Amino acid sequence: MTATTIDGKAFAAGLRARVAEGAAKVLAEGGRKPGLAVVLVGDDPASSVYVRSKGKATVAAGMESFEHRLPETTSGAELVALVDRLNADPAVDGILVQLPLPSHIDERAVITRIDPDKDVDGFHPVNAGRLATGLEGFVPCTPLGCLMLLRDVLGDLSGKDAVVIGRSNIVGKPMAQLLIRESCTVTVAHSRTHDLPGVVRRADIVVAAVGRAKMVQPDWIKPGATLIDVGINRTKAGLVGDIDPACASVAGAMTPVPGGVGPMTIACLLRNTLVSACRRLGVAYDRAL
């Protein structure tokens, strides 16, 4: 038995194409393109690459990209002032402040300053609360992408036993909330979970987001389970995920690293920006997006 490869790259390309169609509709009916503002403080190489790739993807989808690159010495007050200007700018539908921020800036103060209805990263506590209570809001892009892949592979997730390994605010917690919303039975596991292999072995769905290379082993996996690997770990052998590729000998379906979850994150960011523009301009959008 060899697991089916879940091709996140292909799915993301299809999602970006649907978003581009929606952006053209917004331009025709709303009178302008959807706009995404990305803010980068400092010159962290990895963050700079992410911002550049997000800008290219935004333009390719027929949206306006507003990049704000600020020096490392920018103060928290200056950054908050920029966020306030973007909140008030009618051309901006989504605001993304690239993390991590320099150590002298309070990340929480900046994130909570973003208008929740422009918080296309889904990190604002208001959007976290909306997700937890079943209200409409923005969901962090990586777990949203994971959910889309799971639905594509499995269809109805109702009744599935799911284990999320990792409890971060960015992936683990919102992923669990999304799976609960899909009527899964959800366990959130972490570094202090007793008998982690045994817990994972019960799961029909495993989402690994802990940042430990090849932590999940084949003997942890229930035969036929669906595995979503969020981990991106740089090793001497190259990029590897949190799930050992050898798990493909047991699983039913599995995302690769790279080419699985990664491409979905930017595609879902574009999706969230489109949804924000449609809501703000009163343009109908495809709820299946």
User: Does residue 168 share a domain with residue 77?
Assistant: no
Residue 257: CATH number of its domain: 3.40.50.720
User: Is 16 among the domain residues?
Assistant: no
The pTM is what?
Answer: 0.96
User: Does residue 161 share a domain with residue 241?
Assistant: yes
User: Does residue 83 share a domain with residue 148?
Assistant: no
Which of 115, 117, 118 shows the shortest CA–CA distance to 36? 118
User: Is 120 among the domain residues?
Assistant: no
The answer to whether 207 and 182 have CB atoms below 8 angstroms apart is no
Give 216's DSSP letter. B
Q: Roughly what angle, to the nearest 10 degrees, separates helices 8-30 and 262-281?
A: 20
User: Does residue 165 share a domain with residue 101?
Assistant: no
Whole domain around residue 196: which residue ranges?
A: 141-263
User: Does residue 149 share a domain with residue 88?
Assistant: no
Q: Which helix (H) or strand (E) holds 95?
A: strand 94-97
User: Does residue 180 share a domain with residue 98?
Assistant: no
User: Is 67 among the domain residues?
Assistant: yes
Residues of the chain with pLDDT under 50: none
User: Does residue 242 share a domain with residue 148?
Assistant: yes
Per-residue pLDDT at 289: 83
How far, in Å, CA of 7 to CA of 261, rounded?
9
User: Does residue 233 share a domain with residue 152?
Assistant: yes
User: Does residue 178 share a domain with residue 241?
Assistant: yes
Kindly list the catalytic residues. 54, 98, 121
Per-residue pLDDT at 287: 80
SS3 content of the chain, % helix, strand, coil (to 5): 45, 15, 40
Residue 98: CATH number of its domain: 3.40.50.10860
User: Is 58 among the domain residues?
Assistant: yes
User: Does residue 165 share a domain with residue 253?
Assistant: yes
Alpha-carbon distances of 107 from 33, 42, 266, 285, rounded to whole Å: 29, 14, 21, 32
User: Is 272 among the domain residues?
Assistant: no
User: Is 234 among the domain residues?
Assistant: yes
Q: Is 230 helix (H, G, I), strand (E, B) or coil?
A: coil
User: Does residue 184 share a domain with residue 88?
Assistant: no
- Quote the number of domains for the chain: 2
Helices (H) and strands (E) in the chain, counts: 9, 11
Question: Could you identify the residue written with the tokens 């393109």?
Answer: 33
pLDDT for 135-191, tens place per residue?
999 999 999 999 999 999 999 999 999 999 999 999 999 999 999 999 999 999 998
User: Is 11 among the domain residues?
Assistant: no
User: Is 128 among the domain residues?
Assistant: no
Task: Write out the DSSP string of 142-173.
Answer: HHHHHHHHHHHHHS--TT-EEEEE---TTTHH
User: Does residue 111 share a domain with residue 145?
Assistant: no
Per-residue pLDDT at 1: 67
